[in-house]
Structure 1
């Protein structure tokens, strides 16, 4: 098969002009290569063709279609780890909001110890509704990580239903994950898949830590997938009538659920001294839907 051309750029053999145009558009919008690769896999593209479209060519060159994207919109966004060694929004200039590509996220509350930041306007109403609709058919009784075995187990402290999306599973999730990576200055690939949880009246998640206890027998198995958890982002997809706050008992903080808002907290070591103890207070009236993104030290696999 001869290599076709589109303008001055050569299309790799086996790939269509339509796909390459889509890739140019996605890269111009700042979507990272790992997310694009996952999207192509989901759509049924052969692995070797997807990688041919995304792989770096000769030394120092940008691959097609990244060169076109760069020419059209400047350098693609590269998410590096924050200088603090844990996920951290850029609040050095005390901004009231942070631009994260496709959205302007409001900074509502910031606490240093523990490190807690409450964000507004992280998700649109439509995105919240879409996540709930996609998650509903897949809900099951929530499990927790079992530090004894390294697997999952039923925990009486957690009385919600939940499910996990694959990273980059659909368009809404891809856009949200890119937004989170920009907001928290943490590589997209270091995030676990998004978990959606549903709490009915009386349901709760008693105070707990999100890091993995270092001395438990199952922890080495858990850490092989990406190291320790170092940050958590809880996003509110709706508003219960009463109850359902995210609580931080060590500092007496309660974050009330507001649709589209989120609370972020980080922990630089697996130790109670981080004051990252938190819980989901019982829903007293109505129901609560949240989406949680856990962030790891390294790429999560």
Structure 2
């Protein structure tokens, strides 16, 4: 099952093959839901186990939280104030209602779970974006070209992003077309550009962890398996007052095109 999913066969194709082989529908469906795909290599700073300060090339970045299994870091001073403000200013004229990935088709769609406004920079679009992308690549030891374009999001009062996974479900029919652009997502970096006056924490329900947004800090987490066992369910809690601005960087297993 894992091998067929990795080859791009949809859930229905695998299910029908299992039924033809004599599986009952209930057992086959349960097995498909419980079987994780093969694990992929993921980014991780080489010195994160021995040092609370990491070399990001043009600056030193502090670690305030380390977790393994799942792999997660809370990073302090990843961005400076000027970089945060520059990203916000460049993003403002291009904001639109945020979309989510439509796994049925491989496209995008509006979804009630995500109520922010957002936009995407192309990779290396301006000097600030290029500098931040190079910093992340150096920090995590992951190729620059394996990153998606930086996404900037604004959350006003009452807006949120309900808990979700960032990987692409290998059994959804639209996933093969998404994976053709660079393979699976294997890690996420959420950078906080502006903290709200109240609310807006990043929550990891499976880990009972909340990360408080602070300008310039970030949370990094990886997921070598596109499966709930990765324990990377996460969401943005509702903003209660003020505005929260974030920049998200998703890393793929191969070059993103």
TM-score (norm 2): 0.83
**Aligned residue in 2 for 1:163:** 119
1:257 correspondence with 2:242 = no
Larger Rg: 1
Distance in 2 separating the partners of 1:185 and 1:264: 13
Q: Secondary structure at the match of 2:154?
A: strand
1:109 correspondence with 2:65 = yes
Q: CA deviation at 1:249?
A: 0.2
Distance in 1 separating the partners of 2:243 and 2:217: 16
Distance in 2 separating the partners of 1:165 and 1:177: 11
Question: Quick one: which of 188, 195, 199 aligns to 2:155?
Answer: 199
Question: Quick one: which of 90, 97, 109 aligns to 2:53?
Answer: 97
Greater shift in the superposed pair: 100-109 or 253-262: 100-109
Distance in 1 separating the partners of 2:48 and 2:118: 36
RMSD: 0.9
Q: Secondary structure at the match of 2:114?
A: coil
1:227 correspondence with 2:183 = yes
**Aligned residue in 2 for 1:211:** 167
Distance in 2 separating the partners of 1:202 and 1:243: 9
Q: CA deviation at 1:239?
A: 1.1
Distance in 2 separating the partners of 1:102 and 1:111: 25
Distance in 1 separating the partners of 2:57 and 2:228: 35
Distance in 2 separating the partners of 1:241 and 1:103: 28
Q: CA deviation at 1:243?
A: 0.6
CA contact (8 A) 2:100 2:111 kept: yes
Per-residue displacement from partner, 1:102-152 (whole Å, max 9, x unpaired)?
A: 111001101112211000000000000000000000000000111000000
**Aligned residue in 2 for 1:126:** 82
**Aligned residue in 2 for 1:175:** 131
Q: CA deviation at 1:94?
A: 2.1
TM-score (norm 1): 0.71
Distance in 2 separating the partners of 1:130 and 1:113: 35
1:248 correspondence with 2:204 = yes
Q: CA deviation at 1:153?
A: 0.4
**Aligned residue in 2 for 1:71:** none
CA contact (8 A) 2:57 2:139 kept: no
Distance in 2 separating the partners of 1:204 and 1:114: 24
Aligned length: 218
Distance in 2 separating the partners of 1:91 and 1:100: 11
Q: CA deviation at 1:90?
A: 2.1
Q: Secondary structure at the match of 2:250?
A: strand
CA contact (8 A) 2:148 2:256 kept: yes
Question: Quick one: which of 232, 253, 257 aligns to 1:297?
Answer: 253
CA separation of 1:203 and 1:92: change in aligned 2, threshold 3 A: closer
Residue segments in structure 1 that go unaligned for 5+ positions in a row: 1-83
Distance in 2 separating the partners of 1:91 and 1:268: 20
Q: Secondary structure at the match of 2:92?
A: helix
Per-residue displacement from partner, 1:129-184 (whole Å, max 9, x unpaired)?
A: 00000000000000011100000000110000000000000000110000000111
Residue segments in structure 2 that go unaligned for 5+ positions in a row: 1-39
Q: CA deviation at 1:92?
A: 5.0
Counterpart mapping for 1:146-161 below 5 A = 146-161=102-117
